[in-house]
Structure 1
Amino acid sequence: MSILDSVVIGAGQAGLSASYHLQRLGVEHVVLDANVHPGGAWQHRWDALTMRDVHRVAELPGDDAPVHDDARANIAVPQTFAAYEREHDLPVIRPVHVDDVRDDDGILVVRAGERSWRSRTLVNATGTWTQPFVPHYPGMETFVGEQLHTVDYPGPEHFRGKRVLVVGGGASAVQFLGALAPIADTVWVTRRPPVWRTDDFTPEAGAAAVALVEQRVAQGLPPESVVSVTGLMLRPQEREAERLGAYAARRPMFSSIEPDGVRWADGSFEAVDIIVWATGFRPAIAHLAPLRLRGPRGGIQLDRGGRGTTAVADPRIQLVGYGPSASTIGANRAGRIAATGVRRQLSQLAADSAASGTPSQASSMA
């Protein structure tokens, strides 16, 4: 079996960006994507989410982002990604669900069922969408109504006339309340009081927020989302929910869940029909477990003080869409940095191979 210079896992925005830059650098690689169709996680978003609701989500290197209008994001973004793959002839293989990545005498083996790929380096771009996080609360298994996570959100009409409990302090919770409050009876709960942003979100403010996430990654801590440190802002389409008091009536977390609702810490009861868990995601990196990249503090430490994409524990591994690059704005930059990191590692491997007299391990770029 031939040995590739690199394998990219994931063909979302970060993965396509990495592939684009790898191709420009002449790095022989393939992109393995678990989805049947192009579009990354955006193809799985709810129908009511339009391009007007998001900002530059599909911006790719050397290409313009789709026009921000009333087009459905789960259609417009996949179409853009598919065209981009064709235009740049990116080596995407799908559907491929990677089981794990292992080390075989210095060569990385990416396994997916009965198939496998051998490579000198790896770019992991699997994002978070496949790892929704739902915290456990006593009695949640007894609830007779619906419990939905962000990944299962069917659009606002599903909730019309219902009493809906929205759990979470991030942007998704704010957006859900904005859509649901005008047509349903909503209750908002968060673990901590929400932090609202009243000033403009300038590039400088964005850089400061990313820097906070970088600090955690540099220390080997599990990353927090960029959104978690930017503060919350209301968009024009959420002003009606604000007028109805959906955000002002926020409550602290309940103590338990019962068949027909939740029990508050003071012992009072709140009847609800549906619980929406807007509680975020975790990095989809279980397939990397055999490489032992996690440090003692629970996260994967990245180089350059958390600003890079190279795993400190194994410089053959690049992570994009992890930590500070887990945002639509940071994905493009991360893809370029990862491709540069791959080229640097291939050059080092070639130099080490020449020095040790084992040319079979040398990169094709040498």
Structure 2
Amino acid sequence: MDVAVIGAGQAGLAVAYHLRDLGARLAIVDAGPRPGGAWQHRWPSLTLGRTHSVADLPGMRAAGLSFADADTRTPARDTVPDLMGRYEEAYGLRVTRPVRIERVTREGQGFLLEAGPGSPLPRLEARAIVSATGTWTAPRVPHLPGRELFQGRQLTTPEYPGADALAGMRVAVVGGGLSALGFMDELAPRVADLRWYTRRPPVIHEDASPELGFARGREAVEAQDAAALAGEPLPSIVSVTGIPMTPPVRRLRARGLLDAHPMPVRMSATGLVESDGSEWSADAVIWATGFDHALGHLEPLGLRHDDGGVQVDEGRVVGHPGVILAGYAGQASTISASRGARTSARHLRVFLAGEGDWPA
């Protein structure tokens, strides 16, 4: 093929939409069993009414589809995949599923993609690749001494089962982002006790106006893009934007749950040990501590610097002609992923035509 798109979530589909007009031979593969990217795996209580707005994919309105018109009460893991599947059909974006690409290597002037066992497409060759595998499969958990000793439940964000499964328990939520606060808002009425731990004191903005939210979001995107261009590890979004005073945050403040505790220094069999030596007993710990980009399949290409960063310029991996990271760094939001997709497709068109220079 000319281009292989790995991942058919929002970033992958957005790039594929713009690539379809190139006249190039295009293959799209996805590890999920059905459309929807990571949305199909979200917890059952998450609805579009409880999330930030989801930006439409390019050309979505022209196909008579929009996330803005979706039912805000139905589980997002049903609503979003349905719309994304209809989008694929509307634009003839044929996605082969389930194909989990485990290894990508250089092969002559292009790339060899090798899939896991049982894949309907075990091998694929392409002149260029678009990796749009997101972060959902790479949750980040801090290295805390004694984690292996803890006898309660430990759950990352993708493993969160909903408040019903944790009812009556003592639950610690670790992480300073909006996912952590969303979990706490759901858990507060159901659990026996709840405690919030963060790496740094949270910055909560009383003013949650759309204008300020947009400005802070733009600042976060610029910070992520600057880190990517320098090949540095990416800063967290919330470290730049802070936390807006949304209705769930107001409810948590009214319950007295916004007083975050510093990160515990270690764990024991029965709980979390704090810096003063005291122990907070817990039945479950939720690690809402962010994600890394899922790039394990690209390790043979040697993209990462020693500190773990990848140098990316407008989606192009610097020094690696033909490798695009879609939805990476500042393109991770639904709005910027669609905007970045057009730029990435333009770069690929130039690359496939043998014109211009890839950043070195």
After TM superposition, the score normalised by the length of structure 2 is 0.91
The equivalent of 1:45 in structure 2 is 42
Instruction: Determine whether 1:320 maps to 2:326.
Output: yes
- Deviation by residue 1:214-247 (Cα, 9 ceiling, x = unmatched): 1111110022343442111232234322201111
The equivalent of 1:300 in structure 2 is 310
Post-superposition offset of 1:301: 0.8
CA distance in 1 between counterparts of 2:15 and 2:181 reads 32
State the secondary structure of the residue aligned to 1:83. helix
CA distance in 2 between counterparts of 1:216 and 1:61 reads 26
Instruction: Determine whether 1:191 maps to 2:191.
Output: no
Cα contact 2:2–2:26 (8 A) shared by 1:
yes
Correspondences of 1:216-255 after superposition (within 5 Å): 216-247=227-258, 249-255=259-265
1:5 corresponds, among 2, 11, 28, to 2
The equivalent of 1:149 in structure 2 is 156
Correspondences of 1:129-278 after superposition (within 5 Å): 129-184=136-191, 185-199=193-207, 200-202=209-211, 203-247=214-258, 249-278=259-288
The equivalent of 1:348 in structure 2 is 354
- Name structure 1 gaps, 5 residues minimum: 353-366
Could you say which structure has the larger radius of gyration? 1
- Supply the AA of the counterpart residue of 2:226: Q
CA distance in 1 between counterparts of 2:161 and 2:59 reads 34
Post-superposition offset of 1:66: 4.3
State the secondary structure of the residue aligned to 1:135. coil
CA distance in 1 between counterparts of 2:306 and 2:152 reads 40
Computed over aligned residues only, the root mean square deviation of the Cα atoms, in angstroms, reads: 1.7
Post-superposition offset of 1:58: 5.6
1:65 corresponds, among 64, 67, 70, to 67
- Supply the AA of the counterpart residue of 2:254: R
State the secondary structure of the residue aligned to 1:329. helix
State the secondary structure of the residue aligned to 2:264. coil
Cα contact 2:173–2:285 (8 A) shared by 1:
yes
- Supply the AA of the counterpart residue of 2:201: P
Post-superposition offset of 1:256: 1.3
- Supply the AA of the counterpart residue of 1:47: P
- Deviation by residue 1:315-336 (Cα, 9 ceiling, x = unmatched): 3111111111112222111221
CA distance in 1 between counterparts of 2:57 and 2:96 reads 19
CA distance in 2 between counterparts of 1:141 and 1:297 reads 26
Q: Structure 1 pair 11/90, CA: closer, same or farther in 2 (3 Å)?
A: same
266-275 or 236-245, which moves further after superposition? 236-245
Report the identity percentage. Answer: 43
Post-superposition offset of 1:293: 1.6
Cα contact 2:216–2:240 (8 A) shared by 1:
no
- Deviation by residue 1:268-311 (Cα, 9 ceiling, x = unmatched): 121111111111111100111111122344311112xxxx1111
CA distance in 1 between counterparts of 2:96 and 2:54 reads 23
Correspondences of 1:332-347 after superposition (within 5 Å): 332-347=338-353
CA distance in 1 between counterparts of 2:284 and 2:217 reads 34
State the secondary structure of the residue aligned to 2:190. coil
State the secondary structure of the residue aligned to 1:132. coil
CA distance in 2 between counterparts of 1:189 and 1:204 reads 27
Instruction: Determine whether 1:284 maps to 2:294.
Output: yes
CA distance in 2 between counterparts of 1:65 and 1:175 reads 21
CA distance in 2 between counterparts of 1:175 and 1:98 reads 32
The equivalent of 1:80 in structure 2 is 83
- Runs ≥4 in structure 1, deviation > 4 angstroms? none
- Name structure 2 gaps, 5 residues minimum: 61-65
Post-superposition offset of 1:26: 2.4
Cα contact 2:223–2:235 (8 A) shared by 1:
no
- Supply the AA of the counterpart residue of 2:309: G
Post-superposition offset of 1:313: 1.6
2:110 corresponds, among 83, 107, 110, to 107
CA distance in 1 between counterparts of 2:339 and 2:236 reads 17
Post-superposition offset of 1:182: 2.4
After TM superposition, the score normalised by the length of structure 1 is 0.89
The equivalent of 1:21 in structure 2 is 18
State the secondary structure of the residue aligned to 2:312. coil
State the secondary structure of the residue aligned to 1:270. strand
CA distance in 1 between counterparts of 2:306 and 2:163 reads 42
State the secondary structure of the residue aligned to 1:336. helix
145-154 or 322-331, which moves further after superposition? 322-331
